[in-house]
A and B are shown apart, each in its own frame.
Chain A
């Protein structure tokens, strides 16, 4: 059974996929106020993710939650690059780099630049 990762799209992220075929795959939540892309993760690959990040878990909906920010950011980066949701292999190729970045997340997460 596959699992899923939800990638939230704020305006900045949305602008990077606007006008591509991905736009049709957006799921709308909260009356359309929140946009997300759902990435399907085959079971053997979700096991790899769970193994890499000890806090990660599968929730009751089958979504992989409590994964590091670095992982989610990498998922979106690959989506934006490939203009496709079929990116989990590309993300897993970067796993070592993501694990290293995630280690620093207990100490520091860069704040967003907002006014």
Chain B
């Protein structure tokens, strides 16, 4: 068996569209029309997406080889076949959307460069290659699929209760397509700054500091309980002639559902796992990606594969109900995709077995529970005492947390719980609520240095 090595970035090369030299950036933006970025909101005003997060993830290479907002042909290709025009697979539409009113007021045309402002400062540019219109509901429906067109895995029609569907449904109808470039590099606030490892840096740390040859990625949007910890530990036993050298936790940071944990608690909760030795830091590292979660189960898992391969991971663990909400998809949809493919979504074979596909290796995992007969945390496919199982239920744990009950360490590590309480005290609430979403939308994870825009 040949030893597994770090895979190349998806598409062959990491995208790097961040201008670090101020004089070059100033020349680029001189005289450009400007547009202040706006959040995508629900009809009641609840913020559910901020396009700045997508611009960051594109320009720092998380979504390589995507370089910007998709042209119409590329959008159609992604919706029909989950492929870019360059043939490389990619799951989601990445779009810079504006309203008709903003479009009229901007008065831009193809070939123009638009300076995108954030928090009142220059942030990025888009070089407009094409302008077209979309029907947001159609994009939303085709992004996630339907029971008729995708019967292998879609169980219920997507509707207004699904957060990802609503993100696309609430897109504005005018799309400016073209490459993004960050011209004023943001500074992350605490605690985000110490978890910021864009792909190029992450690969460097894996290779030179951690010296990991094999790395398994762990997707998270949750504060870890011991079931998650066991998933990480056990999934990492995969590898080649030895278990994976490293476990890379990559949290998705952005707008989330009410009832999820605040982003800061998620990051520091995972950090506590290595800081307090439950998985030692030599083997475990916490990072994040900016993305307003679409909760797209198999479709989201493809994006996770892209991101984590770009970050330098060799393997990716996938559980049941991966990145899912509700019962729109089969609970095994992600595992079906990565074990045999989903033809109706363009995959006759798993995404790592098709041309222009991913190189990251999936590790499909079942469930962990506490077995009072084995007297240990058991793997569902090994333990024969199913009737006696005591599950790590998320709603049970959330109930315990909300009540202020200190969870036993066999359920949640005390240091992880303390991370929840730390941010609970900051926000006066243990979970994401409307107030948190509004605050987060206003403050974001970053600040921008002041930058003058020279006149043309």
Chain A interface residues (CB < 8 Å from chain B): 8, 10-11, 13, 29-31, 33-34, 65-66, 69, 72-73, 105-112, 114
Q: A10-B405, A10-B406, A31-B375 are in contact. Are A108 and B428 (CB under 8 A)?
A: yes
- Among B374-409, those with CB < 8 Å from A are 375, 390, 395-396, 399-400, 402-409
**B186 proximal to A (CB < 8 A):** no
Q: A107-B429, A107-B433, A109-B430 are in contact. Are A30 and B410 (CB under 8 A)?
A: yes
| Chain A residue nearest to B408 in the complex (CB) | A33
Chain B interface residues (CB < 8 Å from chain A): 370, 372, 375, 390, 395-396, 399-400, 402-411, 418, 421, 424-425, 428-430, 433-435
Given contacts A66-B395, A69-B403, A111-B421, 15 further A-B contacts (CB under 8 A): A11-B406, A13-B405, A30-B390, A30-B411, A31-B370, A33-B411, A34-B408, A65-B395, A65-B399, A66-B399, A72-B399, A105-B402, A107-B428, A109-B404, A110-B404
CA distance A107 to B428 in the complex (A): 8
| Chain B residue nearest to A8 in the complex (CB) | B405
Contact of B404 among A29, A34, A65, A111 (CB under 8 A): A111
When distances are taken between beta carbons in the complex, the residues of chain B under 8 Å from A69 are 402-404
The reply to whether A107 and B435 contact each other, CB–CB distance below 8 Å, is yes
Interchain Cβ contacts under 8 Å between A and B, 18 examples: A8-B403, A30-B390, A30-B411, A31-B370, A31-B375, A33-B408, A33-B409, A34-B407, A34-B411, A65-B396, A72-B399, A72-B403, A107-B429, A108-B428, A108-B429, A109-B424, A111-B404, A111-B424
**A/B pair count, beta carbons within 8 Å:** 67
When distances are taken between beta carbons in the complex, the residues of chain A under 8 Å from B375 are 31
When distances are taken between beta carbons in the complex, the residues of chain A under 8 Å from B407 are 34
CA distance A73 to B390 in the complex (A): 23
The reply to whether B433 and A106 contact each other, CB–CB distance below 8 Å, is yes
The reply to whether A114 and B428 contact each other, CB–CB distance below 8 Å, is no
When distances are taken between beta carbons in the complex, the residues of chain A under 8 Å from B408 are 30, 33-34
Contact of B434 among A106, A110, A114 (CB under 8 A): A106
CA distance A11 to B375 in the complex (A): 22
Instruction: Give the top 8 A-B pairs by smallest Cβ distance, nearest first.
Output: A33-B408, A112-B404, A111-B424, A10-B405, A33-B410, A30-B410, A69-B402, A111-B425
Q: How many whole Å from A17's CB to the nearest CB in chain B?
A: 14
Q: How many whole Å from B427's CB to the nearest CB in chain A?
A: 9
When distances are taken between beta carbons in the complex, the residues of chain A under 8 Å from B396 are 65
Q: Which of A105, A107, A111 has the most CB of B within 10 A?
A: A111
When distances are taken between beta carbons in the complex, the residues of chain B under 8 Å from A105 are 402
CA distance A14 to B433 in the complex (A): 31
When distances are taken between beta carbons in the complex, the residues of chain B under 8 Å from A72 are 399, 403
| Chain A residue nearest to B404 in the complex (CB) | A112
| Chain A residue nearest to B422 in the complex (CB) | A111
Q: How many whole Å from B268's CB to the nearest CB in chain A?
A: 15
Q: A31-B410, A109-B429 are in contact. Are A114 and B403 (CB under 8 A)?
A: no
Q: How many whole Å from B82's CB to the nearest CB in chain A?
A: 35
When distances are taken between beta carbons in the complex, the residues of chain B under 8 Å from A109 are 402, 404, 424, 428-430
CA distance A48 to B129 in the complex (A): 60
CA distance A69 to B405 in the complex (A): 11
CA distance A33 to B411 in the complex (A): 8
When distances are taken between beta carbons in the complex, the residues of chain B under 8 Å from A34 are 407-408, 410-411
Q: How many whole Å from B99's CB to the nearest CB in chain A?
A: 30
When distances are taken between beta carbons in the complex, the residues of chain B under 8 Å from A112 are 404-406, 421
When distances are taken between beta carbons in the complex, the residues of chain B under 8 Å from A107 are 428-429, 433, 435
When distances are taken between beta carbons in the complex, the residues of chain B under 8 Å from A111 are 404, 421, 424-425, 428, 430
Q: How many whole Å from B23's CB to the nearest CB in chain A?
A: 48
When distances are taken between beta carbons in the complex, the residues of chain A under 8 Å from B402 are 69, 105, 109
When distances are taken between beta carbons in the complex, the residues of chain B under 8 Å from A13 are 405
Q: How many whole Å from A31's CB to the nearest CB in chain B?
A: 6
| Chain B residue nearest to A35 in the complex (CB) | B408
When distances are taken between beta carbons in the complex, the residues of chain A under 8 Å from B404 are 69, 109-112
